[in-house]
A and B are shown apart, each in its own frame.
Chain A
């Protein structure tokens, strides 16, 4: 099957999934009474008296399908509701908080991928030797660590014991003022990138100082996950005939491991990119909450705790669409990386 028709079919298959996702999200909101849902549209206190009128206007006493139809057409026009916790539309809030979360992701993703693959390869090459056992115990520990607790411990040591060395939040107050001043142009709202574009060293250093602990907290679990996967994938790859051939023709062990075995072992690791993304989104909520690193995750937490249901569901919908699209891209990449996977076969 041709790649283009494969992608088209996959995109078509997304429609029922996204339809289900939106029904599910909407079903959660329908657990509230019309009055409670009307209050979601209230943007300031004076409107509280208008609740019956709001129920009328938005048809909140209509049957499920009518309401769903109204809601979904609003969603398609970009209206996800009003975010009470930040006092702006949910859609605007997502765009306002996204750069902060991206900043974390930009640093955490390469660390997760490279550390995980590196340690996994090492562990497999040293199977059943001390290095393998050591990394294995590390991985099980990392996988079992409550990340919220890890974050608190890191803060206790690097913010408390080494007074103020690696502080929480995104920037220190003086640097915050620099960033918000007129002379500092905010191209992307990602502080490190903006600092580089503005050639502002102090802001860059300050932003990096605030990034270290959150990035570690966000990465630990995922590194453990990738590392274990890489190890078993490498072991499988190392047992294949072409490895025997490579060794038989006298190649150095380093070349056998790094070139012949690792390249083939990477394929299964690519397929879990979607899971890693999901794990990172989960981690972002916890990490940003602990470090008051005010991005999407912090906003979603605020919304959940203060029962701002429009924001929570907007965030969930945004993430599910992102997650589904990433999985699609992964599947397409998979067919490119591994020529043995025929597109027709993947469809089954």
Chain B
């Protein structure tokens, strides 16, 4: 475990990854304490639906009551971005969790057994990888009907093949190691060898990198929501909040930047969330890549 201590020290020492850790920590706090930071109004049943203050189309400037202002349709931006943090973690964690699970199962089957199984699984990944991801996700969401759940299904369908391939590659590297041969020699079952020997020795770096992809997943989900293919109207979701601003990028004449808050604030939350994960991921990649380490 000294490896992990060394790694942790490297991550904290590097200002960029430290910034990433701090950003993610702030978002975790926002998500956990959302009910305290942006308390839902009395009798508001679904806390993920943003409370409205009237139905007027024109966004309202930031005020005491709405500190980040309101969007078109009077959705409170502050409430939306705070609870949107929860939606972001929800989408990111669920998609990455499922994708990694599928990747581990199919990747280790393909890598460990090789032969026909490998060939079949890899040809299936070829098919999925033959599409630009967002386009395939769009097609899937359009086919099963726009909703946040469809977005998660679509992102899972488009992203599992890369993980299956990565994990297959990891397993291939350790498959011929002596300790695998040894456990086979003492009669361990294939299942036991994969679970107890091959996986633990092969995939931790891949798992860590995969978990840092949460930022990328959230970015893709936000893009789909922005395009009108995600959460239902009024759901606390950063992509959708950004899309509410589309008709208000140019203010009335003489005050062209009047609705800057509606345009910028939700996007800044997306940017910083993704940035946090990417900063961490970038530093981590350098630590893991021995060819680039400390030359």
Please give the residue numbers on chain A whose beta carbons come within 8 Å of chain B beta carbons, in ascending order: 16-18, 20-21, 24-25, 28-29, 31-32, 136-137, 140-141, 143-149, 152-153, 155-156, 159-161, 163, 232, 235-236, 239, 277-279, 281-282, 285-286, 289-290, 300-301, 303-305, 307, 309, 312-313, 315-316, 319-320, 323-324
Q: Closest Cβ of chain B: how far from A202's Cβ, in Å?
A: 24
Is B279 in the interface zone, CB < 8 Å from A? Answer: yes
Question: Is the CB–CB distance between B143 and A319 below 8 Å?
Answer: no
Bound-state Cα–Cα, A312 to B123, Å? 24
Q: A140-B279, A146-B274, A303-B142 are in contact. Are A156 and B260 (CB under 8 A)?
A: yes
Nearest Cβ on chain A to B231's Cβ, whole angstroms: 14
Q: Which of B203-217 contact A (CB under 8 A)?
A: 215
Asked whether B124 lies within 8 Å of A20 as measured between CB atoms, the reply is yes
Q: For window 222-259 of chain B, which residues contact chain A by CB distance below 8 Å?
A: 222-223, 226-229, 239, 242-243, 245-246, 249-251, 253, 256-257
- Say yes or no: A146 contacts B267, CB within 8 Å: yes
Q: Collect the chain A residues with CB atoms within 8 Å of residue B291's CB.
A: 236
Give complex CA distance A137, B279 in Å: 9
Contact of B271 among A144, A235, A305, A312 (CB under 8 A): A144
Neighbour of B242 across the interface among A18, A148, A160, A312, CB < 8 A: A148
Inter-chain contact A307/B142, CB cutoff 8 Å = yes
Closest to A308 in B: B142
CA–CA, A29 and B142, complex, Å: 10
Q: Which one of B24-32, B90-98, B127-135 contacts A?
A: B127-135
Q: Please determine whether B257 and A161 come into contact, CB atoms closer than 8 angstroms.
A: yes
Q: How far is the CA of A140 from the CA of B271 in the complex (A)?
A: 11
User: Considering the chains assembled together, what is the distance between the CA atoms of A279 and B123 in angstroms?
Assistant: 22
Q: Is chain B's interface secondary structure helix, strand, loop, or mixed overall?
A: helix
Can you list 30 residue pairs at the A/B interface with Cβ under 8 Å?
A: A20-B130, A21-B127, A24-B128, A28-B139, A146-B226, A146-B239, A148-B223, A149-B242, A152-B263, A152-B267, A156-B257, A160-B250, A160-B251, A232-B289, A232-B292, A278-B132, A281-B132, A281-B134, A281-B135, A285-B135, A286-B134, A301-B227, A304-B142, A305-B227, A315-B135, A315-B139, A316-B136, A316-B138, A316-B139, A323-B130
CA distance A249 to B226 in the complex (A): 57
Residue pair A282, B132 in contact (C-beta under 8 Å): yes
Q: Give the A-binding residues of B (Cβ under 8 A).
A: 16, 123-124, 126-128, 130-136, 138-144, 215, 219, 222-223, 226-229, 239, 242-243, 245-246, 249-251, 253, 256-257, 260, 263-264, 266-267, 270-271, 274-275, 278-279, 282, 289, 291-292, 295
Known contacts A20-B126, A140-B16; A300/B138 CB under 8 A: yes
A289 to B226, CA, bound (A): 10
Can you list the 5 inter-chain pairs with the closest CB atoms, starting with the nearest? A149-B267, A20-B127, A282-B134, A160-B256, A160-B250
Query: What separation, in Å, do the CA atoms of A178 and B110 have in the docked complex?
Result: 60
Residues of A within 8 A of B250 (CB): 155-156, 159-160
CB-CB under 8 A from A143, the residues of chain B are 278
Task: Provide the residues of chain A in CB contact with B141, threshold 8 Å.
Answer: 304
Beyond the given pairs A21-B131, A282-B133, 14 more chain A to chain B contacts, judged by CB atoms under 8 angstroms and listed by A's residue number, are A28-B139, A31-B144, A136-B282, A146-B219, A149-B271, A152-B249, A239-B295, A281-B135, A282-B132, A286-B134, A290-B246, A307-B142, A313-B139, A315-B139
| Interfacial chain A residues near B223, Cβ < 8 Å | 146-148, 286
Scoring B223, B228, B260 by chain A CB atoms within 10 A of each residue's CB, the highest score goes to B223
A320 contact set on B, CB distance < 8 A = 130-132
In angstroms, how far is the closest chain A Cβ from the Cβ of B148?
16
Taking a contact as CB atoms under 8 Å apart, the answer to whether B135 and A28 are in contact is no
B253 contact set on A, CB distance < 8 A: 163
- The docked-state distance in angstroms from the alpha carbon of A313 to that of B271 is 31
Q: Is the CB of A304 within 8 A of B263?
A: no
Interface contacts (Cβ under 8 Å), in number, total 162
Asked whether A146 and B242 contact (CB < 8 A) given A160-B250, A307-B142, the answer is yes
Residues of B within 8 A of A146 (CB): 219, 222-223, 226, 239, 242, 267, 270-271, 274
Query: Which residues on B sit within 8 Å (CB–CB) of A290?
Result: 246
Report the Cα distance A300→B137, complex, angstroms.
Answer: 12
- Give B151 Cβ to nearest chain A Cβ, in Å: 12
A29 closest partner in B (C-beta) = B143
Q: A146-B267, A155-B249, A289-B227 are in contact. Are A32 and B143 (CB under 8 A)?
A: yes
Chain A residues positioned under 8 Å from B124 (CB to CB): 20
B256 near A163: Cβ-Cβ < 8 Å? yes
**Residue in chain B with minimal CB distance to A27:** B143
A296→B139 CA distance, assembly (Å): 14
Q: Is there contact, CB below 8 Å, between B215 and A144?
A: yes
Q: Nearest chain A CB to B117's CB is how many angstroms away? A: 16
| Distance between Cα atoms of A315 and B142 in the complex (Å) | 13
* Chain A: minimal CB distance from B58 (Å): 16
Cross-chain contact A152 with B227 (CB below 8 angstroms): no
Q: Roughly how many angstroms separate A152 CA and B226 CA in the complex, as a whole number?
A: 12
* A21, A278, A301, A304 interface centre (most CB from chain B within 10 Å): A304
B175 to A: closest C-beta gap in Å:
16
- Report whether A152 and B246 are in contact in the complex, using a CB–CB cutoff of 8 Å: yes
State in angstroms the CA–CA spacing of A301 and B137 once bound together. Answer: 12
Q: Report yes or no: B249 in contact with A160, Cβ–Cβ below 8 A.
A: yes
With A20-B126, A29-B143, A156-B250 known as contacts, the answer to whether A235 contacts B264 (CB < 8 A) is no
A74 to chain B, nearest CB (A): 18
Chain B residues whose CB sits within 8 angstroms of the CB of A286 once the complex forms? 134, 223, 226-227
**In contact, B130 and A235 (Cβ under 8 angstroms):** no
Is B127 within 8 A of A24, CB to CB?
yes
- The CA of A25 and the CA of B138, in the complex, are separated in Å by 12
For the complex, what is the distance from the CA of A312 to the CA of B253, rounded to whole Å? 38
What's the Cα separation between A28 and B136 when bound, in Å?
Answer: 11
Q: For B249, what are the chain A residues with a Cβ–Cβ distance below 8 Å? A: 152, 155-156, 159-160
Q: What is the CB-to-nearest-CB distance from B217 to chain A, in angstroms, rounded to a whole number?
A: 13
* A24-B127, A152-B263 known; A319-B135 Cβ under 8 A: yes
